[in-house]
Amino acid sequence: MPVGFGFDLHRLVPGRRFMLGGLEIPFDKGPLGHSDGDVLLHAVVDALLGAAGRGDIGRRFPDSDPRWKGVASDVFLESVMADLAPDWEVVNVDVTVLAEQPKIGPHADRIRERLAARLGTPAVNVKAKTMEGLGPVGAGEAVGCYAVAELRRRTLAHAGGSLA
């Protein structure tokens, strides 16, 4: 079964909402971006596209396109899920958020449940790590996320077909 990998990183700046997995987390800075800068959803979208062999988030939703300016990244996930749905179902998704602050752990379960509902599988895992004070994430200048997704090709078996 195909596996895809996604990564995203955004600079943290004052005056932006800290959006992660579609939830707003109280913090005095937020990710700079053309969209809402949600690194978790961007990484998951890229992992899904990677597994399906369908390009990447930047090509689908270019930051030169005013349609995506300030948009909630749920829109990207919904669009990609709709594109994949006829051919693929999500087996599981695992993400690791990289953030020195704010603490992600207390929000991880809510993010996981929200993501699971949108991905159509309970097999979603959300983890978070600091960078031990190292690099731009460690300095609180950026937030990042890694994601892995596994897909399964839909078959006609449930409809009585023999396609495997």
Close Cβ partners of 139 (under 8 Å, ≥ 6 residues apart): 100, 133
8 touches Mg ion by CB under 5 A:
yes
Question: Residue 81's closest CA among 60, 108, 58, 62?
Answer: 60
Closer of 8 and 150 to Mg ion (Cβ): 8
Least Cβ distance, residue 143 to Mg ion (angstroms): 10
Residues counted in the chain: 164
Closer of 69 and 153 to Mg ion (Cβ): 69
Position with the least CB separation from Mg ion: 42
Q: Which of 42, 49, 50, 112 binds Mg ion (CB under 5 A)?
A: 42
- CB count within 10 Å of CB 50 equals 20
Distance CA 49, CA 51 (A): 6
Closer of 19 and 116 to Mg ion (Cβ): 19
Q: Interface with Mg ion by CB under 5 A: which residues?
A: 8, 42
